[in-house]
Chain A
Amino acid sequence: MATTSTRKALGKDLIRLAGSRAVFTAPEDLYAFQSDATHYFARNIPDAVVLPEDTDAASAVLAYAYEHEIPVTPRGAGSGLSGGCTPVAGGIVLDTKRLNRILGINRGNMTARVQAGVVLEDFHRAVEKQGLFYPPDPQSMSVCTLGGNVATRAGGPRAVKYGTTGNYVLGVEAVLADGSVIQAGSDCVKQSVGYDLTHLFTGSEGTLGLVTRVSVRLLPKPTHRRTALVVCETPDQAAQVVSGIIAAGAVPAMLEYVPQAALSLMNSIIRPPVAAQGEAYLLMELDGTEARVAEEAEILRSMALDLGAEEVRIVEDEREAATYWKARSRLYPMILTMAKKVISEDVTVPRDRIPEFVRAVAEISGRLGILIGLGGHAGDGNMHPTILFTDLSPEMEQKAEAAIEDIVKKGLELGGTISGEHGIGLHKSRFLEWELGRAQLTAMKRIKAALDPKGIMNPGKLWT
């Protein structure tokens, strides 16, 4: 960590580059930028925080950092779940929150351009006002930024039908480590020019440069939506219903697997609360034309009941339905109220392997004697095995480590991936090679070295 006087000198230089409104070096301010939503892992205080208001300022700061070899950590809302924006090496936090303008919504081309710091929910609201639709919906959407979404390839429940951020990004403007600015991709829905740097930045977790602008594709907003709740007797049955629905060709917009314990938590928000008693629930949203929604509701009802589900409830009232989804989006932080510490994994498996994965997690939990909740975006195979710490003892930590390793291994064995949405950041770097293999990891490191030869961009992330 820098001393107070070097911090002051750094602050002075940064103010010259980005203006005094944009630079913060007081320790009281720096405390706010130590970590993301995974604060109980690593945290560290940066030496300065800069909030550029345009690309030029961001470029000037990066050119300066590059020259002086100062680490730079990009930051959006700081809602990440991998420690991605934790400034482990100190240096400068480059925060995009004031790059928050929606630059244009182009109806004729069904695209939009936004600055990287635009909050996802604000963007949803703006496009939906025009009858348009931007589907990616990480559950942190009330705060997370589009830049953060691009950097982590975020996705949410709607991924089952609509895919994730990566499926919508058409272009990015990015400032590279040395301060140079590139315009990758375009606003065209078809592109075939050279390496696809747009999608190289998508998922780059701030290690290649700072994304300052994003172009995305839009869809027309579906005219009808219906929320449905399937009450299942067992988790296994729920997993079977999921594969069944998908095989039958019904594509819900969202398909969430909610275990009993999670539903009781959600009941503090759902109005009126769900009275049913099942061990597992499937929460869905169907969308499309009125006829299509009705047809899918029918497929769903008969399929689920055939498979022995206890009840299929279609929630007719929109306001009631909204409380289900609000409760779902708050589930993770609510779980934290039940335990001393919570680690939420995001291993994703092919959807026909979900039943096996569910059984494996139950086995791991039983064998190690620790609590592992398992919910998730079942429709896309993205499960959230969630370890609940009953205490903070070293023994508990060890068991949690062991459980995570077993879960990750099992996921890979089933043809899955170690992260479906949160990214690698700090917390999953030790598993990276298991999934990628030596040759692919080396290829990635070469790309990194080519774009950021001094290694100033978000050091310590993806790999150490």
Chain B
Amino acid sequence: MGKASGKYQGMRLEDLAEAMVKCSHCAFCQAACPVFKEDLLETHMPRARMEIIGVSLLDRELSPTRRVREIVDRCLLCSSCTHTCPANVPVDDVVAAARNRLGAKSGKNPFVRLGRKKFMESRGLSGMYAAVGRSVRNRGLLPDELPPIAREPLSLAFAPGEQPHESPRRARAAYFAGCATNAGYTDTGRDVLDVLARNGVEAVLVPELVCCGMPAFAEGDFAYAARLAEKNVEALSRIEADALVCDCTSCAYMFARKIPALLGPDHPLAEKAAALAAKTAEVTDYLARLGLSAELGTLAETYTYHVPCHAKFSETLAEAPRELLTRIPGLTLIEMDQPDACCGAGGGFFLGHRDLSMAIREKKLSDIGQTGASAVATQCPSCRGFLSAPLAGKTRVVHPVTILARSMRRA
């Protein structure tokens, strides 16, 4: 694990060099980078990160010192710069490729490695591992911000295969529940299945799925991310479906963009990965496009919507939950200041950069507070966990699909 093995052709730093020179140095990424906005140091902005990655890992003008590693690691991989860049430079890929070159970090501790492997290969902890996890958690040894550990993961609670649905059948979709949903926030998974069923979508649960690979990709562990991707692409390609629906924006981003790039055009699964990418959608994005057929019941509640960073790969994703939620009778959506500003979580980034993440979160919490909304909607389980902890007892954080499900059940 860790070192490049040449299998994933699209993601070598050398291959990205051509895209890197497209950077016009316009500095627009300053406005997009949550880390820069906190540190206010240009070294920690995407333009400079690329420059430093270039001189230390490509041109070798500078040796890859500890400070270089720090600069490369001090990035949430939120992808906001990539989606802001007028020249379409894939800055997040460059950072991930630099991490790949520098060697994955968490590969060292064998316990962490085993836990991570178990976690990713069964999409969250289950059985004995879950029991251990829960007891560690109950003793306060895990940060509050991590998703809960469910008693029964979705993959055990629901039989694989076709799920029941209302007729007429309007579509057929494979549902990919991410790790944090499958074994943590199972409420989201149940509500996804419920809403799909009520809207005439036949959901298919596919056995043998593993983590989408985003955490490994983000660490630069491309070999492992590619291995997970291969498993998922093979399993998902075995079934016929109109769409691949994810509840988590990062899983969707992984399938829609990263997996094809990671595997590269010459990989035997390249075509299948591309076909899956083309039909990948986050669940609210999918529903907004499909249109709702189920009735909506009244919910006299106020929400504010936090846009997860990884929503940015789709032009319609950030609008989709707003469009759906505002149709619910009685529901008020109050926009916060800068709804698409990062919350600071960045997957597991906050575990290694606590002060920085908490400083970023501070602004988000104040924006949320100012809306006076009674709950927050957001699709990303990492955002949900990171925001839930400080809001506990005051403001609930849920996936927008849960709000839809409750409204539909009330109709």
Residue positions of A touching B, CB distance < 8 A: 24, 26-29, 31-39, 51, 77-79, 95, 97-98, 100, 119, 121, 140, 142-144, 271, 330-334, 336-337, 342
Return the contact of A342 from the options B24, B27, B40, B43 (Cβ within 8 A). Answer: B24
Given contacts A27-B62, A32-B51, A36-B25, contact A119 B31 (CB under 8 A): yes
State A37–B45 Cα separation when bound (angstroms): 14
Chain B, 126-184, CB within 8 A of any chain A CB: none
State A27–B41 Cα separation when bound (angstroms): 14
Q: How far is the CB of B62 from chain A (nearest CB, A)?
A: 6
Task: Please tell me if the beta carbons of B27 and A143 are within 8 angstroms of each other in the complex.
Answer: yes
Given contacts A28-B52, A31-B48, contact A51 B40 (CB under 8 A): yes
Closest residue of chain B to A32 (Cβ to Cβ) is: B48
Return the contact of B27 from the options A37, A51, A330 (Cβ within 8 A). Answer: A37
Among B42, B55, B62: residue with most chain A CB under 10 A: B42
Q: How far is the CB of B74 from chain A (nearest CB, A)?
A: 12
B56: which A residues are within 8 A, CB to CB? Answer: 28
Given contacts A77-B30, A100-B40, contact A31 B51 (CB under 8 A): yes
B68: which A residues are within 8 A, CB to CB? Answer: 28
Task: Please tell me if the beta carbons of A28 and B86 are within 8 angstroms of each other in the complex.
Answer: no
Task: Please tell me if the beta carbons of B86 and A330 are within 8 angstroms of each other in the complex.
Answer: yes
State A31–B85 Cα separation when bound (angstroms): 21
Q: Is the interface of B mostly helix, strand, loop or mixed?
A: loop
- Interface membership of B65, Cβ < 8 A: yes
Task: Please tell me if the beta carbons of B40 and A143 are within 8 angstroms of each other in the complex.
Answer: no
Return the contact of A28 from the options B22, B40, B67, B87 (Cβ within 8 A). Answer: B67
- Interface membership of B273, Cβ < 8 A: no
B71: which A residues are within 8 A, CB to CB? Answer: 28
Task: Please tell me if the beta carbons of A28 and B42 are within 8 angstroms of each other in the complex.
Answer: no
Q: How far is the CB of B408 from chain A (nearest CB, A)?
A: 28
Interface 1/0s, chain B 57-74, versus A by CB < 8 A? 000001001011001000
B41: which A residues are within 8 A, CB to CB? Answer: 24, 29, 32, 51, 97
Return the contact of A332 from the options B24, B62, B315 (Cβ within 8 A). Answer: B24
Besides A332-B24, A336-B22, 15 other A-B contacts (C-beta < 8 A): A26-B67, A31-B43, A32-B42, A32-B47, A32-B52, A37-B24, A97-B42, A98-B40, A143-B28, A143-B30, A144-B27, A271-B315, A333-B28, A333-B87, A337-B88
Task: Please tell me if the beta carbons of B52 and A31 are within 8 angstroms of each other in the complex.
Answer: yes
Pick 23 A–B contacts, CB within 8 A, sort by A.
A28-B65, A31-B43, A31-B55, A31-B62, A32-B41, A32-B48, A35-B25, A36-B27, A37-B25, A37-B27, A51-B40, A79-B26, A95-B42, A97-B42, A140-B28, A142-B30, A143-B31, A332-B86, A333-B28, A333-B86, A336-B87, A337-B22, A337-B88
Q: How far is the CB of A49 from chain B (nearest CB, A)?
A: 8
Task: Please tell me if the beta carbons of B28 and A142 are within 8 angstroms of each other in the complex.
Answer: yes
Task: Please tell me if the beta carbons of A336 and B31 are within 8 angstroms of each other in the complex.
Answer: no
Give how many B residues have a beta carbon under 8 Å from the other chain's beta carbons: 29
State A98–B210 Cα separation when bound (angstroms): 45
Given contacts A39-B25, A140-B28, A143-B31, contact A334 B87 (CB under 8 A): yes
Chain B, 4-49, CB within 8 A of any chain A CB: 22, 24-28, 30-31, 40-43, 45, 47-48
State A330–B88 Cα separation when bound (angstroms): 11
Return the contact of A333 from the options B26, B40, B52 (Cβ within 8 A). Answer: B26
State A77–B40 Cα separation when bound (angstroms): 10
Return the contact of B86 from the options A26, A31, A334 (Cβ within 8 A). Answer: A334
A78: which B residues are within 8 A, CB to CB? Answer: 27, 42
Closest residue of chain B to A22 (Cβ to Cβ) is: B41
Closest residue of chain B to A26 (Cβ to Cβ) is: B67
State A38–B22 Cα separation when bound (angstroms): 13
Q: How far is the CB of A389 from chain B (nearest CB, A)?
A: 12
Task: Please tell me if the beta carbons of B42 and A33 are within 8 angstroms of each other in the complex.
Answer: yes
Given contacts A32-B48, A32-B51, contact A97 B22 (CB under 8 A): no
State A333–B47 Cα separation when bound (angstroms): 13
Q: How far is the CB of A152 from chain B (nearest CB, A)?
A: 14
Among B27, B88, B315: residue with most chain A CB under 10 A: B27
Q: How far is the CB of A64 from chain B (nearest CB, A)?
A: 21
A31: which B residues are within 8 A, CB to CB? Answer: 43, 48, 51-52, 55, 62
Q: How far is the CB of B71 from chain A (nearest CB, A)?
A: 6
Chain B, 287-337, CB within 8 A of any chain A CB: 315
Question: What are the nearest 8 A-B pairs in CB distance?
Answer: A32-B48, A330-B86, A333-B86, A142-B31, A336-B24, A333-B24, A79-B27, A32-B42
Q: How far is the CB of A279 from chain B (nearest CB, A)?
A: 24
State A218–B56 Cα separation when bound (angstroms): 46
State A100–B56 Cα separation when bound (angstroms): 31
Closest residue of chain B to A271 (Cβ to Cβ) is: B315
Q: How far is the CB of B339 from chain A (nearest CB, A)?
A: 14
Among A142, A333, A337: residue with most chain B CB under 10 A: A333
State A36–B28 Cα separation when bound (angstroms): 12
Task: Please tell me if the beta carbons of A37 and B67 are within 8 angstroms of each other in the complex.
Answer: no
State A27–B71 Cα separation when bound (angstroms): 12
Q: How far is the CB of B83 from chain A (nearest CB, A)?
A: 12
State A143–B24 Cα separation when bound (angstroms): 14
B315: which A residues are within 8 A, CB to CB? Answer: 271
State A26–B30 Cα separation when bound (angstroms): 21
B45: which A residues are within 8 A, CB to CB? Answer: 32
Q: How far is the CB of A105 from chain B (nearest CB, A)?
A: 16
State A79–B30 Cα separation when bound (angstroms): 10
Task: Please tell me if the beta carbons of A29 and B28 are within 8 angstroms of each other in the complex.
Answer: no
A143: which B residues are within 8 A, CB to CB? Answer: 27-28, 30-31
Closest residue of chain A to B30 (Cβ to Cβ) is: A143
B26: which A residues are within 8 A, CB to CB? Answer: 37, 79, 140, 332-333
Among A79, A100, A121, A336: residue with most chain B CB under 10 A: A336
State A342–B55 Cα separation when bound (angstroms): 22
Q: How far is the CB of B204 from chain A (nearest CB, A)?
A: 33
State A33–B41 Cα separation when bound (angstroms): 10
Among A28, A38, A140, A334: residue with most chain B CB under 10 A: A28
Task: Please tell me if the beta carbons of A29 and B67 are within 8 angstroms of each other in the complex.
Answer: yes
State A35–B315 Cα separation when bound (angstroms): 33
B25: which A residues are within 8 A, CB to CB? Answer: 35-39
Among B22, B43, B65: residue with most chain A CB under 10 A: B43
A32: which B residues are within 8 A, CB to CB? Answer: 41-43, 45, 47-48, 51-52
State A38–B24 Cα separation when bound (angstroms): 8
Task: Please tell me if the beta carbons of B43 and A29 are within 8 angstroms of each other in the complex.
Answer: yes
Among B28, B55, B62, B86: residue with most chain A CB under 10 A: B86
State A331–B24 Cα separation when bound (angstroms): 11
State A374–B26 Cα separation when bound (angstroms): 19
State A343–B163 Cα separation when bound (angstroms): 59
Task: Please tell me if the beta carbons of B40 and A97 are within 8 angstroms of each other in the complex.
Answer: yes
Q: How far is the CB of B81 from chain A (nearest CB, A)?
A: 12
Chain B, 58-107, CB within 8 A of any chain A CB: 62, 65, 67-68, 71, 85-88
